[in-house]
Amino acid sequence: MFSIFMADLLPIIVIMALGYASGKRNVFTEDQAKAFNKLVLNYALPAALFVSLVRADRSMLFADMTLTIVSFVGLIISFFVAFYSCKYLFKHTRGEAAVCALIAGSPTIGFLGFAVLDPIYGDTVSTGLVVAIISIIVNAITIPIGLFLLSPAKGENAKGNSGLDSLISALKEPVVWSPILATVLVLVGFKLPSMWDPTFDLIAKANSGVAVFAAGLTLAANKFEFDGEIIYNTLLKLVFMPALLLVLGLMFNMSSNNLQMMVLAGALPPAFSGIIIASRFGVYTRTGTASLAVSVLGFIIAAPAWIFITRYVIGLV
């Protein structure tokens, strides 16, 4: 865990702190921070999602249907628990609840998945399978749902074709159609020629660093208050989601190795895409960014705890 912290979590903390300090010193204006988020949301993140998903193998998706079903059910339930609790428990609007669900109900599997799982469980086909399946569920299913729920926020009481209009509006976003397109290409067996990899990688590599830096700027622009909602979001992400995946995995008799990796993946900090979307649309930015910062720190404790709990439950310790 120390090596994971130094190699993967510490850079997040340092870059976010750098963005926070830059924001407090007014090195970047609020408009410039929004430009960073626009760059990430419209170009870097869609490219990163596309290239990470299109490299998956169609056979991987059907190699372990139990893993696919359990991951899908667990992540969708977590997403909507976050959505409805934010909307009704904390009295937020539909748009704010949608962003909350993208943050508290989605793990940052694309950025930290391999970085966390490989050192513990090895660079194996099983590791790639877990990361690929959860990535597709998060990026090709929950992000489109979140943006669909966010779109009507400007007119929640609108009638008529508001639902269809919201769906069309969501599908126009590159961060929605790029992972869906990649998933369709994987399902039909299309393989992107390797010569195109550098083209996508160059812009995709800007995603994580700029997103974390922009999150620091957003945190600096909003007064940080460690309140009950931030604690709730953190517990939802680091405790509820992995616990739910563990229970579902046991119910479906998953293999012990895949179960351990799936639970740990569920305990990862919130997906950065939620923070990017929050900043881009100016919705739920203060609480969302603070929840991300607290969850990143909390993961240092949550990760070894869930490794031990899962192994204890399945009788390995």
At 270-283, the pLDDT tens digits run 887 788 788 778 88
Query: Comparing 43-47, 142-146, 256-260, 296-300, which segment has the lowest mean pLDDT?
Result: 43-47
Q: Could you tell me the pLDDT band of residue 204, with boundaries at 50, 70 and 90?
A: low
The residues that bridge with 107 in the sheet, in sequence order, are: 270
Over 50: is that where the pLDDT of 157 sits?
Answer: no
Angle CA(130)–CA(136)–CA(138) in degrees, nearest 5? 100
Which two tokens mark 78?
A: 């977590």
- Checking if the pLDDT of 153 tops 90, the result is no
pLDDT at 100: 95
Checking if the pLDDT of 285 tops 90, the result is: no
**pLDDT tier at 83, thresholds 50, 70, 90:** very high
Averaged pLDDT score across all residues of the chain:
81
pLDDT at 78: 96
The pLDDT of residue 13:
78
CATH topology of domain 2-313: Na+/H+ antiporter like fold (1.20.1530)
The answer, yes or no, to whether residue 158 has pLDDT greater than 50, is: no
pLDDT(135) > 50: yes
pLDDT higher than threshold 60 for residue 155: no
Q: What is the mean pLDDT of residues 215-219?
A: 73
Helices (H), ranges, the chain: 2-4, 10-24, 30-39, 45-54, 58-63, 65-84, 94-104, 109-121, 125-137, 143-150, 162-171, 174-187, 197-204, 206-221, 228-235, 241-251, 256-266, 272-281, 285-313
Q: Which residue has the higher pLDDT, 314 or 139?
A: 314
